[in-house]
Structure 1
Amino acid sequence: MTGVDYEAEYNNRARVPENPALIAGWAKDAAAYRATHAPRSISYGRGARHVIDFFPGGGKGPIVVFIHGGYWQALDGSSFSHLARGLNAHGVSVAIPSYDLCPHVTVGQIIGQMRMASRELARLGQPLVISGHSAGGHLAACMLATDWPAFDALLPADLVIAAYAISGLFDLGPLIGTSINKAMSLDQATASAASPLFWQAPARGSLDAVVGENESAEFFRQSRTIVDLWGKAGVATRFGTVPGANHFTAIAPLAEANSPMVLRLKRLAGR
């Protein structure tokens, strides 16, 4: 595309001036949920951020993973504990991993860390439904498209049975000329290599890509494009919107037991 102001399209903090209060609200709500539902901490690597907060739901079915956003350069899983509430209410277990951030690591290394986290969760003996927001939506799609036996011969090909990307980014090329790229240092080659849109489509599983109703045209384009492309390749795909939501409020339904988002994830987890 030409003539698109990518800085304006992708700078969500500028588009939503009230974002500091929304992010502070996440931390407050997360702390409150952790106070009454203390997670089990699972390590998947040697780094201080290589941890997964696991919120058991009591059921035996697939685990739903939530990967946080922050453009691969901000936040950690502890600010999103409350998003386990909706699925936990249905007996579905939720895992929320953290990861190292740019510029200390590359986006490609973060993809590798989420593969490590998924491998560690595989030890629990349950398939994974991987959801994520923004950068986490990108990482969720990457996990669905991963060849798991090639990553680790001991892993089943169907380790990840579905991805649910909220406001995801699947083509990182448009970020290269924006301020967002200062910490990531992407060029055309590394952006393309880290973009699941350009990978071989998953051989199995399904992808849901949803976007807040009030998000920029580029976020709509990103999700519609991967849904169309992977759908033509035979993947079961669905596009949807979160009514009335901006980039930051699009994840709020995860905390509500009877929201359409939670009920869809419950179905993807076979419950």
Structure 2
Amino acid sequence: MTGEIDLEAEYNNRARVPDHPAVMAMWRETAEAARAAHPPVEIAYGPGEREVMDLFDAGPDAPVAVFLHGGYWQALDKDWFSGIAPSFLAHGVSLAIPSYDLAPTVRLGAILHQVRAAVEAIRARAGARPVVFGHSAGGHMSAGMLSEGRASAAVAISGVFDLRPLVSTSLNKALDLDEREAAALSPVFWPVPNGSTPGGTVLDCVVGGDESAEFLRQSRMMADHWGSQGVETRYEALPGLNHFTVLNPLFDPDSALVRRLADLAKAAPSPRAA
């Protein structure tokens, strides 16, 4: 599967992008400004301290999108990403951003259980399946939510859909995956959503054009695999963007990525019909 590929170099994005602290500082600054301008409602979706999410409410009956943050299931939380909320509010779309527990405190399977609970809490509140999108680890989980019928559509940004290449890397120190568990938790091996399942059948796989060959391969592979089985898939490599700057379009309400997400949210079945 991997040949002579240096998997550590391919998947360790913080090492690959030396200026990532500056990008992440921008995330933090825009998040603080957005929370001041548009204070979110905090919703508990479980009993744990991190089982909470922020809801930036665009108004009654507004469609809802759920953003699942990245960090290889072992870093960050909802507060880093509030800065993308104004882009969605500008389109009349509410945005929910959950936190979840992190490895090695919990295993990846437990994190997926929490994310399911968060998405279901939004579905119950809105009366319809939300669009689910996410970055990196969040891209992985977004595809998983679509596979399970919990999302009306999914947009995976720089997702990892086959976890087996991570097993031999330093990223696995906290995750503690073996080959069997990595395969079992990989959405590329999960059921493909289709017309007979209750959720959506649209998956966009978006990746930065300057990301590693493995990240480009993962997104292309997922789009091709599910697309060949009837899912409406779309693959796009955004020119000049790396694993961190790939989120830049989410801060621009006029970007093609935000418009795409807003359109998917508005095309979802109306409340109480899904």
Which TM bucket (shorter chain)? over 0.9
Query: CA shift at 1:228, angstroms?
Result: 0.6
1:166 to 139, 157, 173: 157
- 1:70-219 alignment runs, 5 A limit: 70-124=71-125, 125-147=127-149, 159-203=150-194, 204-219=200-215
Cα gap change, 1:59 to 1:225, in 2 (>3 Å): farther
Matched residue SS, 1:29: helix
Aligned to 1:67: 68
- 1:27-46 alignment runs, 5 A limit: 27-46=28-47
CA distance in 2, matches of 1:84, 1:162: 19
1:231 to 227, 249, 266: 227
Percent identity, please: 53
Aligned to 1:16: 17
- Is 1:59–1:93's contact at 8 Å kept on the other side of the alignment? no
Structure 1 residues 188-215: Cα deviation after superposition (integer angstroms, max 9, x where no partner): 1110111000111112421000000100
Amino acid at match of 2:168: G
Pairwise CA RMSD of aligned residues? Answer: 1.1
- Is 1:253–1:259's contact at 8 Å kept on the other side of the alignment? yes
Aligned to 1:252: 248
- Is 1:60–1:126's contact at 8 Å kept on the other side of the alignment? no
Query: CA shift at 1:58, angstroms?
Result: 2.3
Greater shift in the superposed pair: 35-44 or 121-130: 121-130
Q: TM-score, normalised by structure 1?
A: 0.93
Matched residue SS, 1:102: coil
Amino acid at match of 1:128: P
Query: CA shift at 1:61, angstroms?
Result: 4.4
Amino acid at match of 2:37: T
CA distance in 1, matches of 2:142, 2:29: 25
Aligned to 1:156: none
Query: CA shift at 1:86, angstroms?
Result: 1.0
Query: CA shift at 1:34, angstroms?
Result: 0.2
Structure 1 residues 82-127: Cα deviation after superposition (integer angstroms, max 9, x where no partner): 1112111011000000000000111111111100101111122132
CA distance in 1, matches of 2:43, 2:241: 32
CA distance in 2, matches of 1:66, 1:84: 10
CA distance in 1, matches of 2:215, 2:123: 31
Aligned to 2:270: none
The runs of at least 4 consecutive aligned structure 1 residues that moved more than 4 Å come to none
Q: TM-score, normalised by structure 2?
A: 0.92
CA distance in 1, matches of 2:204, 2:60: 23
- Is 2:56–2:96's contact at 8 Å kept on the other side of the alignment? yes
Aligned to 2:271: none
Query: CA shift at 1:258, angstroms?
Result: 0.5
Query: CA shift at 1:243, angstroms?
Result: 2.3
Aligned to 1:151: none
